[in-house]
Chain A
């Protein structure tokens, strides 16, 4: 079919891709500018090796822990006779409502001795294991139970069925979830800074604090971006082969769960432990500090004002980002081809850059190129857009896929002009998808810490930055109310995520 690629849409999508690639481009340009001798001086030194070792072992450890917990929990929920599986499912997704930096605050404020490798591993694993659990649970539901029954019929035990039939089919979901954990961890700043565990992000932040936009911070950012790109490349190669796992249709018959018998008790205890550590400890800790903080007088007016500012920024970012996602999402479906794919991938690439690097790049660029924009809301919104564009694009794209071109053709044959078709057909059909994308961006911005910390105009505090300054000053009680509001605002998204993925269990 003919490509419907209007030059205006194409230009808009290209502009969005260019914005998304701005931080990467800045880092690349800066690296080239510094030159080989500069790189050798700034990168090839013991401090960087130490950071690399810290980052690598934390990523490796966290991915391993998340994989074991995620796969184990998903098997128990989707394939075993465990009682109350629906409730467990919600409880296992719920930790996503607690931002990682709030989780680490909850732990370190109770156990100050957690500022070690083991402590960091524990805390980030508890925050990130749902990233593995969710895709694995979804993949389990996509597996045809007939295959497992066939294997049983051939005499395999439950354990052998898991190893030889299920695990190979879950491979792609597992790798995908693990890469997600790794990418998030490379970008994680708040949680690790709170735990005083030095990695690239915290080192970049400290350098930035010390020397502002010095070459040291930028070169560290370069190494970090390189690590992200390696992972992203692996992700793209993986996505190319994903068809293998997705070809399986949904389960045609209900799965007959594996009877746990005597193992029911230990299985329940294990799940209870995961939920207690990942959910009850942070919520309990918040409750404790709320109670303790109440005695030091809660500043209600400041809390309301900060919440208002945060909601306003999040709403603006949602509108801007979703608007920017429209041309790219549209082209990706209606003008499939190399150009559209390139533009779409550019935004994914851009958002894989850690928030701290995006912020650093935008600070430097706005000071050098557009000083009148430095520390203004537009730059902050641009950072949010770069970081969260894919969330909006994915949902807009899905919505465009839901509204095939035939509607456009019929409307044209009935005499509707292009503007008319946009108003009467396209926008009404895309509205739910656009709304969902905007909601996802909104919720992500509500708990965004790193970029906001560096880019927010002087005097503008959000829930995350207010929480951050209070907890950095060890005023745990004063920080708690901000964390509670963030958790409450994130909860709806989490409920949505769990309900969507639970569909298999209810039918």
Chain B
């Protein structure tokens, strides 16, 4: 196992549109890092540069203290010792499960089945699957075999390129769990590319948010959710309630009343106009009460385990609240809103215009 250090990496495929513009990333040895970003942000390109399938224009990639790309060096992909799990598994269709898993093993080890059984057990698959062809496996099983194949030669680093995006919801959860367990059992350093924030937050030790070819935040999942670096990151990693506010006397005065606030990590916001961030689960609803701001329920999305309530504020804005109670308001009800915890303050001009998503129906 070794750490991964990426420094000032740039890459462009056409002269006009660079894909990566100076990415720095450090992945400690044995840790699990998620590269999170919307499609087209360059995360897959970054993965391919780390794997050695493409060469960067400038910057360096180092495994431990061994530079594998940049600074005049380009170590071939096959000599980097980096395991790769592509989207949809990419199992070799002409080989059996055993043939796939043992592909990267030395010739001598390919013959004996012991290592294959060991790896199948590691990813939670039955040894009987060894002789199956890839097309006889479910999508989740294919992903696990792909991971077993990548882990077989004991790589110093494993890269996973959106491995769960093609699976349906139930299978995805189960496969994520199996993959997490296998990675922790081997103590492998792993980098997972995903555009699914829930996947990144739930699986990784640290999350790197990529946007427009740039790394915008690298931190642990809790900090990322609670103290995002800017409002774009805030809305990308979860549902958000963003309101205009006036900061004075240590409180943020906004449509939901005067709230205690904290400064965003990007820098202190002076008193005056600002924007504040809340999460929908911080909002609490109660029967109308003259002391609290009143809102009207526009609609309710009922999910079973919890619900989202869309609220029209008196100032014309719309916010959403996430409630787990059984005692839900109905559309048209007037409710009082209270806020738990603190808001996070950002400068007024900060972030693009972020209209609250419109409720469906």
Contact = CB atoms under 8 A, between A and B. Distances in A.
Interface of A: 1-2, 406-407, 409-417, 424-425, 428-429
B104 A409 contact: no
Contacts of B53: 409, 412
Given A1-B13, A1-B54, A2-B54, A413 B92 contact: no
B165 to A, nearest CB: 14
B94 A413 contact: no
SS class, residues of chain A in contact with chain B: helix
Contacts of B238: none
Interface centre among A407, A410, A411, A417 (most CB of B within 10 A): A410
Contact of B78 (A1, A406, A412, A429): A412
B94 A416 contact: no
A485 B361 CA distance: 72
Interface string B82-96: 111011001011100
A378 B92 CA distance: 38
A387 to B, nearest CB: 32
A410 B13 contact: no
A413 B13 contact: no
Interface string B64-85: 0000000000001111111110
B84 A409 contact: yes
Contacts of A424: 103
B214 interface: no
B204 interface: no
Contacts of A415: 78-79, 81, 104, 153
A368 to B, nearest CB: 48
8 contacts: A407-B90, A412-B53, A412-B78, A413-B77, A413-B78, A413-B104, A414-B83, A428-B94
B150 interface: yes
Contacts of A406: 86-87, 90
Contacts of B55: 2
Nearest to A425: B92
A402 to B, nearest CB: 9
B149 interface: yes
Contacts of B79: 415
A417 B77 CA distance: 9
A429 B93 contact: yes
A410 B84 contact: yes
A58 B205 CA distance: 76
Nearest to A414: B104
A411 B103 contact: yes
B153 to A, nearest CB: 6
A1 B54 CA distance: 8
B130 to A, nearest CB: 18
Interface string B30-61: 00000000000000000010011111000000
Contacts of A416: 78, 103-104
Contacts of A428: 94
Contacts of B103: 411, 414, 416, 424
A428 B76 CA distance: 23
A411 B102 CA distance: 11
Interface of B: 13, 48, 51-55, 76-84, 86-87, 90, 92-94, 103-104, 149-150, 152-153, 155
A415 B150 CA distance: 11
A426 to B, nearest CB: 11
A412 B155 CA distance: 13
B210 to A, nearest CB: 19
B142 to A, nearest CB: 13
B90 A413 contact: no
Nearest to A417: B78
A118 to B, nearest CB: 55
A410 B78 contact: no
For the complex of A and B, 6 pairs with smallest distance between CB atoms: A414-B104, A413-B84, A412-B77, A406-B90, A428-B94, A412-B78
A448 B73 CA distance: 54
A416 B76 CA distance: 11
A414 B149 CA distance: 8
A112 to B, nearest CB: 57
A425 B84 CA distance: 16
Given A1-B54, A2-B54, A415-B104, A410 B94 contact: no
B324 to A, nearest CB: 42
A410 B93 contact: no
Contact of B86 (A1, A2, A410): A410
Contacts of A411: 92, 103
A409 B82 CA distance: 11
A504 B13 CA distance: 42
Contacts of A429: 92-94
Contacts of B82: 413
Contacts of B81: 415
A424 B103 CA distance: 9
B41 to A, nearest CB: 17
Contacts of B86: 406, 409-410
A412 B76 contact: yes
Contacts of B150: 413-414
Nearest to B54: A2
A1 B11 CA distance: 11
Nearest to A413: B84
Interface-centre pick from B48, B90, B149, B153 (highest chain A CB count, 10 A): B90
A427 to B, nearest CB: 10
Contacts of A409: 48, 51, 53, 77, 84, 86, 90
Nearest to B11: A2
Given A409-B53, A414-B153, 11 more contacts: A407-B90, A409-B48, A410-B84, A411-B103, A412-B53, A413-B77, A413-B155, A414-B104, A416-B103, A417-B78, A429-B93
Contacts of A2: 13, 54-55
A311 B80 CA distance: 49
B232 to A, nearest CB: 28
Nearest to B88: A406
Nearest to A421: B78
Contacts of B83: 413-414
Nearest to B158: A413
B101 to A, nearest CB: 10
A414 B105 CA distance: 8
A292 to B, nearest CB: 52
A409 B104 CA distance: 12
B84 A407 contact: no
Contacts of B80: 413
Nearest to B77: A412
Nearest to A403: B93
B153 A410 contact: no
A97 to B, nearest CB: 33
A413 B48 CA distance: 11
Nearest to B90: A406
A294 to B, nearest CB: 50
A49 B150 CA distance: 70
A31 B78 CA distance: 54
A414 to B, nearest CB: 3
- Which one of A1, A412, A429 has the highest number of Cβ atoms from chain B below 10 Å of its Cβ? A412
A373 to B, nearest CB: 40
A429 B90 CA distance: 13
A432 to B, nearest CB: 10
A432 B275 CA distance: 62
Which among B53, B83, B104, B153 has the greatest number of chain A C-beta atoms within 10 A? B53
A413 B53 CA distance: 9
A424 B80 CA distance: 20
A86 B271 CA distance: 82
Contact of B51 (A1, A407, A413): A413
Nearest to A424: B103
A434 to B, nearest CB: 13
